[in-house]
Structure 1
Amino acid sequence: MQQLRGTGVALVTPFNKDLSVDYDGLTAVVEHCISGGVDYIVMLGTTAENVTLTSEEKQKVVSHIKNVVNKRKPLVLGVGGNNTQLIVDELKNLDTTDITAILSVSPAYNKPTQNGIYAHFASIAQASPLPVILYNVPSRTGSNMSPDTVLRLARDFDNVVGIKEAAGDMVQVLKLLRDRPDGFLVISGDDMLALPLVLAGGDGVISVIGQGVVEPFCGMIKDGLDGAFAKAYEAHFKLMPIIDFIFEEGNPAGIKSVLAVKNKCSDEVRLPLVKASAALEKKIRTYLEAL
């Protein structure tokens, strides 16, 4: 899974003013990412607002991204939810063409125990025709996947190949890095902690801001992986404000505002999300002009 080291981006789903999917905007964002140096692309992650997409829209979005990427970069597909059986059924019928791995978020709202989380992902691992990257994001799911649970899954299932870790807890990250099996990827799911994770021995990031300021962010991660610590932190400090801005009023409203300022797609989001405020858009625009 070395092709999934470095910078992956969790793509947004651009919308037109009438909130239909904007496929031209999607093309523009994908090309922006590829030309800027991303290492791989994540389709239908939580940043894609996939909970507001119909099944038909999801299929069309994936097909469109595959066609635009045209094998130039590895693709990861988000397949997750809080109904284990539905995910298993989806995986059994999954078209794996041009997909390198799946990314599966820990169940939201249900708040399972650690044994429940283990059993959930065990079912997914057994059903998946592709390698599985776990995704831990307690701020959204309401429950934390402990390092012990992650490592248990990594040891019990050969196709559980990594974790996108977004608990915002470097102690938890260090426990994973210390005890992980050989080849198991530890990937940041937190843009602000991506560089510290990499410098501690991690494998990169699945980023939100990485699709907005592509070259500087990808360059920072590459420098971190290459051991150019001073150069990487210089970039990190410059990027800290925009990382704060894009999450100030929620994701993906912030990153869509960035992409709108850069004329890649509109800033439209679907309810219950709302667009970034004019005040936030002004801060983002001012920052990008200075950058």
Structure 2
Amino acid sequence: MKKLYGTGVALVTPFKRDGKIDFEGLEKIVKHVVENEVDYLVVLGTTAETSTLKKEEKKNIIECVKNINQKKLPLILGIGGNNTEDIIEKIKNINLDDFFAILSVSPYYNRPSQEGIYQHFKSIVNNTDAKIIIYNVPKRTGSNILPDTVIRLANEFENIVGIKEASGNILQSYKIIEKKPISFSLISGDDFIALPVILGGGDGVISVIAQGFPKKVSEMVSLAKENKIQEAFSIFYKIINMIELIYEEGNPTGIKTLLKILKICNSYVRLPLIRGTSFLEKKIENKLYGKSNN
């Protein structure tokens, strides 16, 4: 079974001042990352502000990305939530022909036990032929998928093909890497620790910062996969401060502020998120164009 390697990009949803989707901005983003050597695209993930999007808007975003991508890169589609039955229905009612896999977040808010998490993903897999990538992001969901649960799912269900691991705990990633099947992908969901995770045997990253610096991040990940450690870290140290800045006022507020400065799309977000402050914008501009970046 084909695995996901390298650099995936968690696409934002650009908005206009009036709150409508900016499809021209979305086209610019997709072209920007596709032309700068990323390996795959994640559509309607957390970074896309999916929880604020209407059903019709999601459908239009999917069609827009598919039309621009023209099957150049694999696509991953975010379909997750905290109602197992509802997720199964959504998966059944969408055409997944153009998607490599579904990225499905661990149930949030209701904070299930490890057995509950296992049964949740088991139910999804038993009701679809689609490949599933688990998404573990405890700071957003309120619960952590422990390595033993991940390994159990990976060993029992062939269609669970990977995990986007965003616990921020390197040791947790290493424990999964140590015991996972060869065909199962461990993908870092955290820009800060992507490099050590890949060097420890991870398969790549689903990145936010790669939306701003696709070529740099793709090169860094490729060098890490080739075990060219010094070269990989030399790129990482050039972008580490920018990674800090884009998360300073939350995601996707920060990355949208960077994309605005790069003249790729506007920085508008939907409530309850708010736009990046002028202070953040100035900091990012200084880091991007200042002497420290030369």
Q: Place the TM-score, normalised by the shorter chain, in its bin.
A: over 0.9
Q: Secondary structure at the match of 1:71?
A: coil
TM-score by length of 2: 0.97
Structure 1 CA distance for aligned equivalents of residues 80 and 145 of structure 2: 15
Letter in 1 for 2:245: F
Contact 2:136 2:144 in 1 (8 A): yes
Residue 88 of structure 2 is aligned to residue 88 of structure 1? yes
**Identity, % of aligned positions:** 49
The equivalent of 2:179 in structure 1 is 179
Contact 1:91 1:129 in 2 (8 A): no
The equivalent of 2:214 in structure 1 is 214
Question: Size of the alignment, in residue pairs?
Answer: 291
- The two structures, once aligned, show a CA RMSD in angstroms of 0.9
How far off its partner does 1:18 sit? 0.5
Task: Note the alpha carbon deviations across 1:113-134, whole angstroms, 9 max, x for none.
Answer: 0000001111111123311100
Q: Secondary structure at the match of 2:193?
A: helix
The equivalent of 2:258 in structure 1 is 258
Contact 2:11 2:44 in 1 (8 A): yes
The equivalent of 1:143 in structure 2 is 143
The equivalent of 1:271 in structure 2 is 271
Contact 2:75 2:101 in 1 (8 A): yes
Letter in 2 for 1:225: K
Letter in 2 for 1:42: V
The equivalent of 1:64 in structure 2 is 64
Task: Note the alpha carbon deviations across 1:131-169, whole angstroms, 9 max, x for none.
Answer: 110000000000000001111111111000000000011
Q: Can you give the 5+ residue segments of structure 1 that lack an aligned partner in the other structure? A: none
Pairs within 5 Å for 1:66-215 = 66-215=66-215
Letter in 2 for 1:79: I
Pairs within 5 Å for 1:20-39 = 20-39=20-39
TM-score by length of 1: 0.98
Letter in 2 for 1:69: N
Q: Can you give the 5+ residue segments of structure 2 that lack an aligned partner in the other structure? A: none
Residue 248 of structure 2 is aligned to residue 248 of structure 1? yes
The equivalent of 1:6 in structure 2 is 6
Contact 1:3 1:39 in 2 (8 A): no
Letter in 2 for 1:179: K
Task: Note the alpha carbon deviations across 1:156-207, whole angstroms, 9 max, x for none.
Answer: 1100000000001111111001000121100000000000000001000001
